[in-house]
Chains A and B, each alone.
Chain A
Amino acid sequence: MAAELHVALVAADREVWSGEATLVVARTTSGDIGVMPGHQPLLGVLESGPVTIRTSDGGTVVAAVHGGFISFADNKLSLLAEVAELSDEIDVHRAERKLEQAKAEGDAHAERRADVRLRAAAGR
């Protein structure tokens, strides 16, 4: 059995996803970081962006994470985000509409949020 790490993706009001994985790629404020089993204990600040989790059965889970933290210790990885959505849960049309609306209104915050959603949805 290949080495595995346990991942818990937690939003403020629910646990979004949890399971075993072989690789997790997330974007911290100082750049993308990939975590594999046996990584050194780590605590970082996440940027808004898609998080890619390679599960141990060969699948890929992509989630849109809007700010938050990544912490890894003892082969347990937690991704904490105020808002997190799995790519399957994202409504692409709605996100596209929101993106256009945000662009029209010049709302940089909403634009980024919609953009992150779309990128996560594209990566699935």
Chain B
Amino acid sequence: MGAQLRVYKRRIRSVTATKKITKAMEMIAASRVVKAQRKVAASTPYARELTRAVTAVGTGSNTKHPLTTEADSPSRAAVLLLTSDRGLAGAFNSNAIKAAEQLTERLERAGRQVDTYIVGRRGLAHYNFRERKVAESFAGFTDEPTYADAKKVAAPLIEAIEKDTAEGGVDELHIVYTEFVSMMTQTAVDSRLLPLSLEEVAQESTTKDEILPLYDFEPSAEDVLDALLPRYVESRIYNALLQSAASKHAATRRAMKSATDNAGELINTLSRLANAARQAEITQEISEIVGGASALADANAGSDN
């Protein structure tokens, strides 16, 4: 076997092995997307009821709560960025990071000082490499986040927003995550969690004609709101974590699918090249034999005379 042919054969073998791996990863990601989507759906009733309750207290009483009132001159803001622990997901992480950077820039231009909180090793690595300050980071659960994880992430954020701005607290809380639109589309979005704008929440939770009843609050509207808002933040963060996880798996699936397709194409090209090399080798051998034979025949013909 010729040297050229051997090189092609070896490359085909290695690409075939890679293709098997990416195919397996694609299938794993596909099954995880379904699981993650199911979790998003399972968390929806809680989020919906909680949003309804927040709207009810917010619109049904004249309570002023630090978490719903905007500061006169907001000077500090917290940004929570959700990325994944592992890569191999195409542009998933870089899109989320880019969205966070744009948001940070926008906030800074508006005169706010930004504290960054990060979920996921990828985002943390990006910020550490650029030596940017990170207020707090969390990792290790982005593939399958639980409600306890969401609570863990929310705790320092709620603490920061309840503190006075002068003592290192923040006035606003923004979250950047990747919204799961469909299997093919995931978009990085940013939204302001706090202070809550009740009109927006009301729009989300109620249909047009529905009028919220006048609730009796037990023990009082203030206490209910006090207890409700941290849970609301946690549930929003939980929802964002779940969507981000589903998006990550979908992105991995897509990235691995195109890797598998590319490997297939590469194998095709390489086999064609290998076939051509084999054919060229055979042709060369034949022409060598034919050339040798005719040279021999010519020599014999010469000696006959």
Contacts and interface: CB of A to CB of B under 8 A. Distances in A.
Contacts of A40: 216
Contact of A78 (B49, B213, B219, B227): B49
Contact of B219 (A10, A14, A29): A29
A49 to B, nearest CB: 14
Interface in A59-114: 68-71, 73-74, 78, 80, 82
Nearest to A28: B218
A71 B228 CA distance: 12
Given A44-B224, A69-B53, A80-B53, A15 B42 contact: yes
B225 to A, nearest CB: 10
Interface in B187-245: 212-219, 223-224, 227-228, 231, 234-235, 238
Nearest to A78: B49
B45 interface: yes
What class of interface size applies to chain A in its complex with B? 20 to 34
Contacts of B257: none
Contacts of B42: 13-15
A110 to B, nearest CB: 14
B124 interface: no
Contacts of A45: 218-219, 223-224, 227-228
B43 interface: yes
A10 B46 contact: yes
Nearest to B210: A74
Contacts of A78: 49
Interface in A1-38: 8, 10-15, 28-30, 33
> Would you call the interface of chain B mostly helix, strand, loop, or mixed?
helix
Contacts of B223: 29, 45
Contact of A10 (B45, B56, B151, B213): B45
Nearest to B219: A30
B50 interface: yes
A82 B231 contact: yes
Task: Output the residue of A15, A43, A68, A69 with the most chain B CB within 10 A.
Answer: A43
A44 B49 contact: no
Interface string B42-74: 110110011011001100000000000000000
A8 B46 CA distance: 10
A40 B218 CA distance: 12
Nearest to A14: B42
A28 B52 CA distance: 19
A26 B188 CA distance: 41
Contacts of B218: 28-30, 33, 42-45, 70
Given A43-B224, A82-B231, A12 B147 contact: yes
A43 B216 contact: yes
A15 B49 CA distance: 11
B43 A13 contact: yes
A123 interface: no
Task: Output the residue of B52, B150, B231, B234 with the most chain A CB within 10 A.
Answer: B231
B238 A12 contact: yes
Contact of A41 (B46, B216, B224): B216
Contact of A13 (B39, B56, B219, B228): B39
Given A15-B42, A82-B147, A43 B219 contact: no
Contacts of A41: 213-216
16 contacts: A10-B45, A10-B46, A10-B49, A13-B39, A13-B46, A41-B214, A42-B215, A42-B218, A43-B53, A43-B215, A45-B224, A45-B227, A69-B231, A71-B53, A80-B49, A80-B53
Given A13-B39, A14-B43, A42-B218, 19 more contacts: A10-B46, A10-B49, A11-B46, A12-B238, A13-B147, A14-B42, A29-B218, A29-B219, A41-B214, A41-B215, A43-B215, A43-B217, A43-B224, A44-B219, A44-B224, A69-B53, A74-B213, A80-B50, A80-B231
